[in-house]
Amino acid sequence: MTIEEAIVRAIKEGDFRTVLAVLGLFNNINNWSKLLEFAKKEKITRKVGALYDTARTTIKVRRMDKRTRNALLKGNIKDKFVIKKIRSDNFKEIEKEWKVFIPFNKADLEVYKE
C-alpha cells in the first residue's frame, strides 16, 4: 500500500483520529497524480483537497501541483462531511472554497506544531 492509497482509505473510513493522523502524511506524497487517481475512484476528491489545505495551515507540507489541485476542485463528492455530522468553527475559508465541512478546530491541530 502506498502513502497516497493510505490517505484515501483513511479519509474514506471517516474516523476522527485516523483522519487527523493522515494530515501528517501529506508531506510524504511522491506522486500527486496517484493521489488524484485514488481519490477519483472513491469519489472523495474535494475532501482530499480540503484536508490538504487544512494541513498546509499548520504543518510544513510539500506543494501540490496546480494541475492536481484544479482536478481535485472540479471533482465529485458523495457528501459534504469529512466525518459524519461534525463541523468546525475554524477554517471557514477552506470550507467555502472546497464546499466540504472540515471536522477539526485549530486546537486539534496543535499536536503538529510541536
As a whole number of angstroms, the longest Cα–Cα distance in the chain is 35
Residue 44: strand, helix, or coil: strand
CA distance 108 to 114: 12
Per-residue pLDDT of 76-106, as tens digits, reads 888 899 998 888 888 999 999 999 999 988 8
Distances 74 to 35, 70, 101, 107 between C-alpha atoms, Å: 15, 6, 17, 30
Per-residue pLDDT of 20-76, as tens digits, reads 999 989 999 989 999 999 999 999 999 999 999 999 988 888 899 999 999 999 988
What pTM value is reported for the model?
Answer: 0.92
Please check whether residue 22 is in contact with residue 102, taking contact to mean a CB–CB distance below 8 angstroms: no
For the chain, which residues make up each domain, given as ranges? Answer: 3-106
CA atoms within 13 A on the CB side of 68: 18
Taking 80 as the threshold, does the pLDDT of residue 114 lie above it? Answer: no
